[in-house]
Structure 1
Amino acid sequence: MTTNQEKPNILILDDDPVYRRLSASILKEKFNVFTAEKPSEGFKLMKTQSFSFLILDYILPEMDGIKVLEKVKKEYPETEVVLISNSGNMDTVIEALRKGASDYFKKPFTPADIWMSIERTIKLSGLKTELNQQKRANTILKQDIHKEIGSIIGQSKEIREVIDQINMVAQTPDTSVLIIGESGTGKELVARAIHDKSPRSNEVFGAANMSAIPDSLFESEFFGHVKGSFTDAYADKAGWFETANKGTLFLDEIGEMSMGLQVKLLRVLEDRKTIKVGTQKSVPFDIRIVSATNKNLDILTDGTSFRLDLFHRLGTFVVHLPPLRERKTDIPILANHFLQMMNQKMGRDIKRIHPDVINLFMKYPFPGNIREMRNIMERAVIICRGDELKPEHFMLHTPKSNAIQSEIFDLEELEKRTIIRALEKTNYNKAEASKLLNIQWNALYRRTIKYGIDMPLD
């Protein structure tokens, strides 16, 4: 294989040919990509090539990803390892991070997942490459990330108010921002827009899903640790407060945090200092905190499941992000935006959307909001064989009993009923139900306990 000396080398070790090819196609523009389907093939390549990154699947033939990780960190410590897996077992993730993995993400993944993981890993390792000539690692991949993640689209009164709020709060030095909105409305886009329009835009934008972080992993994830500070701590690890220092840290799904995690987060936000695991030295940080939740404001402030003192610490400036059904005038704009995006992504040349499709969209409640629109547009572009998207290219599932149009207004009751419907639809498969609900499996587990939802015995 002929390599470009100006690009760093990356090795993808995954026995699934579909994901192996997908990862390679995403990364080939910025890296010299090598692939292997078995650990033995990967180690053979590592003997002849120097790799900056290893994208490592957990489930492999010959040996599992943890054993590969241990061998790589001992024999090739300069190689940064990113774990990728379809496993929902957080114990595996914790073990991988403690044994030297720089980051992780789960299958199925999007291009944005890979780019953001690479961005975080570059910052964590301090690796400087010729990927770009920008000042910081976060800026190196900013254009690529924006291309994959997208931007705020719309001209409705509701979305213009949101954009005005973004522009106002972005100019403050460190005001904490709380974004409230349903799943799929684009809360991370708003957080990144605040960062990009602020004086911190050339620094790191970090994103952490709080529902996926166990209490026991909080210190390691957010404060970092030093080599040898605990069993299997093979290398130093920078925490989020160090990684995103001078930049912006986005805390998603804060409403799903346990009380123990809330106490830990409150303490560090009050002190504005961290102590890396394995040291005694406190280090100050300068970060803007932007957080997000799909919880109703009344639930956050009733003092039962969320600490009021933490709410006031995080919610200095609150941005309410409207669901798509409340900004229907943006639907045609968004539909055409996604058509252009999918045309470019798939090499298609579909010219237009039939007016009947727009009429259909205007009557549809879009319970999954903009994320759902993107997904159904992508499916329509895949199956369309002409130059116009028509109603037959779309599958819109409107529940017989739509919670949005129901006479029930108790949000917790609506959430409980939605969870029960998802569990029934997936035959009580918690992993599948959590995907359907677009939440983490452990967040689903906590909700079943909270609402007293009985699960059938296995």
Structure 2
Amino acid sequence: MEKLKIMILDDEQRVREEIGEFLLENGFQVFKAELPSQAFKILEQNEIDITILDIKLPEMDGIQVLEKIKTSYPEIEVIMISGHGDMNSVISAMRLGASDYFTKPFRLMDVHNSIERTKRFITLNSKLKEVEHNLSLVSNELQDKTGHSIITQSPKMKSIIELISKVAKTEDTSVLITGESGTGKELVARGIHYLSSRKEKYFYDVNCSAVPENLFESEFFGHKKGAFTGATESKAGWFEVASKGTLFLDEIGDMPLNLQSKFLRVLEERKIRRVGSHIDIPVDVRVIAATNRRLEDLIEEKLFRVDLFHRLNSFSIHIPPLRERSEDIPLLINHFASEFSKKMKKPIQEIDENVLNELSNYNFPGNVRELKNMVERAVILNDRGKLHLKHFPILAKVSDQPVFSKGTEIIFDLELAEKNLIMKALEKCKNNKAKAAKLLNITWQSLDRRMKKFGIL
């Protein structure tokens, strides 16, 4: 690690020498100045990390020097030296951005402790800047390539951005993304792809629950002409299509058990064989899988192979539901309102405070996707440039009426009752759409249509 560069600005030679000698013994690079004018010349010629600054100085006082340093060199941390009992100056200095202080007469231990606290602050600040940089990088890449970006101020999501940045630097590590429906698993997968060395190649997304079992091998591995009835020409499978790029497998938990072994073999051997062919074709692809189900539970139920789980789970990212990062809700509301306002050419100047309060307390079973659908509908309904609670019909009904009947009282709102029943079925089945559809005695496709209708995807 490069030595920290520390400048001492004090008009007393004894102080400069004593602190300077102590810092040199502890491995720091030291610069000394008697006057502010000398200090500013040092700052012009060197990248200083920390300045130790006396409050009482000739030419100008330490508070004025601090202001100039923070204006011209905001990244430099400043430790103030104050006279005994001069707390007013210390408070003023801290308000202007000083990171620490010690008083005269001082002990070298005071200097040491102040430096250590400031070093920790520099380290934390550096990490924060790196996270902000990564967030900006991921969002910009996604916005540029897909028209979408990750909007967040949540510490949990910023940690995820850091994980995206780290795993993107690997060539072919498999990634498993978990989280409820609508949390943005595909957006995270695309973030990994577009920050990686594969970003110029294809990102191919597949919904495993939508692939018919009898077409699984043909779709994933391709087939040779004449391999089966209807195979009038040879066809490349998804592994070949995504070669050198990324294959994103959504709803991996819905992959039939009898096909998982064939998929595992491809991941381990990095080669596929088209249906009807005896020739192995090497594939170079990163696999990112996503699920809204607990694969550990499926393993216990003998519905998912443990070896496939470990192969996919080389690196895992869990996306928290929107209700666990409610600080993002106002940010997302404003973002989506602005987005749909521009698309529909309907200016939205203001969002009623009641809307923000109600939405911040709403459970969002459909997460970010549900919020986006709500805001889109609200902008469509709006005519006067301000979003009110009445523009969020489902939310207004939820806030005005009980979700379930009280005693013998019956709620005659069919839409609300249907939405609540679907949400309870999904909750009972742990977001397994197939099981929820069976519980509701409707088809999977019918459940999917209703979920889209109510914005609880």
TM tier relative to shorter chain: 0.5 to 0.7
> How far off is 1:232 after superposition?
2.1
> How far off is 1:272 after superposition?
1.1
Q: Which deviations, in whole Å up to 9, do the C-alpha atoms of 1:268-292 show, x marking residues without a partner?
A: 2122111122322111111111000
Indicate conservation of the 8 Å contact 1:423/1:429, yes or no: yes
Question: 2:409 maps to what in 1?
Answer: none
Counterpart among 151, 157, 160 of residue 158 in structure 2: 160
The 5-angstrom pairing of residues 35-46 of structure 1 reads none
Match of 1:146, as an amino acid?
T
Inter-partner Cα distance in structure 1 for 2:369 and 2:254: 21
Counterpart among 417, 420, 433 of residue 447 in structure 2: 433
* Distance verdict in 2 for CA 1:198–1:421, change over 3 Å: closer
> How far off is 1:225 after superposition?
2.0
Inter-partner Cα distance in structure 2 for 1:416 and 1:269: 27
Inter-partner Cα distance in structure 1 for 2:436 and 2:287: 35
Question: 2:286 maps to what in 1?
Answer: 288
RMSD: 3.1
Inter-partner Cα distance in structure 1 for 2:237 and 2:143: 25
Match of 1:220, as an amino acid?
S
Question: 2:226 maps to what in 1?
Answer: 228
> How far off is 1:302 after superposition?
3.0
Indicate conservation of the 8 Å contact 1:422/1:436, yes or no: no
Inter-partner Cα distance in structure 1 for 2:289 and 2:277: 28
User: Which runs of 5 or more residues in structure 2 are unaligned?
Assistant: 1-141, 405-416, 418-423, 453-457
* Percent identical residues: 49
Match of 1:219, as an amino acid?
E
* Distance verdict in 2 for CA 1:356–1:419, change over 3 Å: farther
Q: Which deviations, in whole Å up to 9, do the C-alpha atoms of 1:383-433 show, x marking residues without a partner?
A: 10011111111022658269xxxxxx99984549998987787x7465322
* Distance verdict in 2 for CA 1:168–1:301, change over 3 Å: farther
* Distance verdict in 2 for CA 1:286–1:429, change over 3 Å: closer
Higher mean C-alpha deviation, range 366-375 or range 409-418 = 409-418
Counterpart among 399, 403, 409 of residue 400 in structure 1: 403
SS in 2 for 1:184: coil
TM-score (normalizing by structure 1): 0.58
Match of 1:165, as an amino acid?
L
Higher mean C-alpha deviation, range 355-364 or range 233-242 = 233-242
* Distance verdict in 2 for CA 1:288–1:303, change over 3 Å: farther
* Distance verdict in 2 for CA 1:169–1:381, change over 3 Å: same
Inter-partner Cα distance in structure 2 for 1:227 and 1:378: 46
Higher mean C-alpha deviation, range 281-290 or range 264-273 = 264-273
Q: Which deviations, in whole Å up to 9, do the C-alpha atoms of 1:48-75 show, x marking residues without a partner?
A: xxxxxxxxxxxxxxxxxxxxxxxxxxxx
Question: 1:241 maps to what in 2?
Answer: 239
Indicate conservation of the 8 Å contact 1:300/1:311, yes or no: no
SS in 2 for 1:386: coil
Question: 2:196 maps to what in 1?
Answer: 198
Question: 1:322 maps to what in 2?
Answer: 320
The 5-angstrom pairing of residues 71-220 of structure 1 reads 146-147=146-147, 150-220=148-218
SS in 2 for 1:249: strand
Question: 1:278 maps to what in 2?
Answer: 276
Indicate conservation of the 8 Å contact 2:293/2:432, yes or no: no
Indicate conservation of the 8 Å contact 1:381/1:389, yes or no: yes
Question: 2:262 maps to what in 1?
Answer: 264
> How far off is 1:234 after superposition?
2.7
SS in 2 for 1:299: helix
Inter-partner Cα distance in structure 2 for 1:226 and 1:339: 49
SS in 2 for 1:261: helix
> How far off is 1:215 after superposition?
2.7
Indicate conservation of the 8 Å contact 2:177/2:319, yes or no: yes
Inter-partner Cα distance in structure 2 for 1:296 and 1:260: 19
Indicate conservation of the 8 Å contact 2:378/2:391, yes or no: yes
The 5-angstrom pairing of residues 378-397 of structure 1 reads 378-395=376-393, 396=395
Inter-partner Cα distance in structure 1 for 2:286 and 2:244: 8
Indicate conservation of the 8 Å contact 1:191/1:250, yes or no: yes
SS in 2 for 1:279: coil
Match of 2:331, as an amino acid?
I
SS in 2 for 1:206: strand
Question: 2:99 maps to what in 1?
Answer: none
> How far off is 1:211 after superposition?
1.0
Match of 1:340, as an amino acid?
S
SS in 2 for 1:331: helix
Match of 1:431, as an amino acid?
Q
SS in 2 for 1:344: helix
* Distance verdict in 2 for CA 1:300–1:205, change over 3 Å: same
Inter-partner Cα distance in structure 2 for 1:420 and 1:232: 33
* Distance verdict in 2 for CA 1:383–1:158, change over 3 Å: same
Inter-partner Cα distance in structure 2 for 1:209 and 1:198: 22
Indicate conservation of the 8 Å contact 2:174/2:287, yes or no: yes
* Distance verdict in 2 for CA 1:226–1:311, change over 3 Å: same
* Distance verdict in 2 for CA 1:394–1:263, change over 3 Å: same
Inter-partner Cα distance in structure 2 for 1:292 and 1:428: 25
Indicate conservation of the 8 Å contact 1:252/1:291, yes or no: yes
Question: 2:455 maps to what in 1?
Answer: none
Match of 1:436, as an amino acid?
R
Match of 2:328, as an amino acid?
D
Question: 1:367 maps to what in 2?
Answer: 365
Inter-partner Cα distance in structure 1 for 2:426 and 2:381: 37
Provide the aligned length of Structure 1 versus Structure 2: 290
Inter-partner Cα distance in structure 2 for 1:410 and 1:318: 27
SS in 2 for 1:435: helix
User: Which runs of 5 or more residues in structure 1 are unaligned?
Assistant: 1-141, 403-408, 439-458
> How far off is 1:434 after superposition?
3.2
Inter-partner Cα distance in structure 1 for 2:373 and 2:359: 13
Q: Which deviations, in whole Å up to 9, do the C-alpha atoms of 1:11-45 show, x marking residues without a partner?
A: xxxxxxxxxxxxxxxxxxxxxxxxxxxxxxxxxxx
Match of 2:392, as an amino acid?
F
Compare the two structures and name the one with the higher helix fraction. 2
Q: Which deviations, in whole Å up to 9, do the C-alpha atoms of 1:332-382 show, x marking residues without a partner?
A: 111111011111221221122111110011110011101100111110000
> How far off is 1:172 after superposition?
0.9
* Distance verdict in 2 for CA 1:429–1:273, change over 3 Å: closer
* Distance verdict in 2 for CA 1:437–1:256, change over 3 Å: farther
Inter-partner Cα distance in structure 2 for 1:323 and 1:257: 24
